[in-house]
Amino acid sequence: MKLTQRGSIRHYSLLQSILLASPLLVLLGIFYLIPLLSLFPESLQHEGEFSLEHYYHFFREPLYGFILFRTIRIAAYVTVICFLMGYPVAYSMAYMKNRKLSNLLMICVMLPFFTSILVRSYAWMVILQTKGIINSFLISLGIIDRPMSLLYNEMAVLIGMVHIMLPFMILPIYTVLKNLDRNLLRAARNLGASAVKAFIKVTFPLSLPGVGSGVMFTFILSLGFFITPALLGGPKTLMISTLIEQQINRLLNWNFAGAISVILLLTTIVVIAVFDKIVGLDKIYKE
């Protein structure tokens, strides 16, 4: 922790920082931390007594581990696809000479956020269903003669989730790219690096903080996704949040739901820790 004055940038003392952050901390504490912490004692209750039964049950029944693993796998796919699709968009938005065009791109990225997830998922259902837009189009062109099943499978879930998560990947990368010191790039080119080499050696490594936050946002939010897999997926895309929902709403076993949630939370923390070990998040965020 550096509390010294350095250059012209002001550094706040710890007390000042806490004071500045206190409204948010209080809000998070009441509406997030307390409910979250109350999950733990809840998950350790079985028929009114302290017991690890719900955790045993999670690991004894093959269903839960299997679904947890699938959830992580789908979240990872979504993250990778979002990165591959989002980076070029962020890059062109940041380096486009035409301001109007790059603003237009920004609007296109933001626009889906003014529509609810439910509506967007239903829109994908309209597009992908048996007599939907894609199938009718392909049939009218004569490319296929029978409608394909595009809905209620993993592909549909991935499409829907990537659509929703893309801005979470694009925006952090864009912000970092936008604020890169262009002189570094000029220096690289000046010293004889090709455009590709300059990108690989200079731009991309410097954009890693943005990539890091984008990946974290996308991955963590994807782990808990509920509506989109439920609407666009089928039995083979059953994810962990659906199991939690079943326990809460239909089977009324809040203790077990608590145990699944705690395990999901711990898994998320472990995955982030592993990610941190490999990529080095703290290194990324260092000035």
Residues near other proteins (CB under 8 A) are 61-63, 66-67, 70, 110, 113, 116-118, 129-131, 149, 152, 167-168, 171-172, 174-175, 178-179, 217, 221, 226-227, 230, 234-236, 238, 243, 245-246, 248-254
Listed in order, strand segments (DSSP E) in the chain are 45-46, 49-50
Burial label, 122 (beta-carbon count in 10 A; 0-12, 13-18, 19+): middle
| Cβ-contact 177, 171 below 8 angstroms | no
Min dist. Cβ of residue 87 to other proteins (A): 17
Q: Nearer to other proteins by C-beta: 193 or 248?
A: 248
Min dist. Cβ of residue 277 to other proteins (A): 25
Q: Nearer to other proteins by C-beta: 125 or 193?
A: 125
In angstroms, the CA 149 to CA 220 distance is 29
Q: Nearer to other proteins by C-beta: 16 or 149?
A: 149
Neighbouring C-alpha atoms within 13 Å toward the C-beta of 17: 8
Min dist. Cβ of residue 195 to other proteins (A): 24
Q: Nearer to other proteins by C-beta: 193 or 230?
A: 230
In angstroms, the CA 251 to CA 269 distance is 28
Min dist. Cβ of residue 188 to other proteins (A): 21
Q: Nearer to other proteins by C-beta: 73 or 178?
A: 178
Min dist. Cβ of residue 222 to other proteins (A): 11
Residue 278 burial (CB count, 10 A): 8
In angstroms, the CA 71 to CA 237 distance is 8
